Amino acid sequence: MIALSQDILAEIAAQAEAEAPNEACGYLAGRDGVALERYPMTNADASPEHFSFEPREQFAALKRAREAGLELIAIYHSHPATPARMSDEDIRLANDPDTIYLIYSTPEDRIRGFTVTRDKRVLECEVQVTAETPR
């Protein structure tokens, strides 16, 4: 399970809208399955159908999380025109079985979470949206 606040969800939705028709993406940093910070990232693919991170930005996000005593617990991206489910491309590119992949669908206004095993099985991960960001 992953918990994130309404505020973080609203920020993801706003970023998705701002970057449409391309996919928006980023990291959530936190601990113990609770997201505490959002790090928006550039979609290096600038594509409506897939995304990738810039290695330099990725390194900066990792550093920022470490300095805050947090871990990068989830990777999120938006689906500007399709439902919140893992596309074939998403599954293919999901190479960290310990990361939660969050997908926010703009048309559905919904976020769902998934993990992907090493043998590419997709498991749904419950997303709990909380009223406030816990401290």
* Shortest CB 47 distance to Zn ion, Å: 10
Q: Confirm or reject binding of residue 19 to Zn ion (CB under 5 A).
A: no
- With beta carbons less than 8 A apart as the criterion, state whether 79 and 70 touch: no
- With beta carbons less than 8 A apart as the criterion, state whether 1 and 100 touch: no
Residue whose CB is less far from Zn ion, 37 or 45: 45
**By CB under 5 A, what part of segment 59-118 binds Zn ion?**
87, 90
* Shortest CB 118 distance to Zn ion, Å: 19
Chain contacts with Zn ion (rule: CB under 5 A): 87, 90
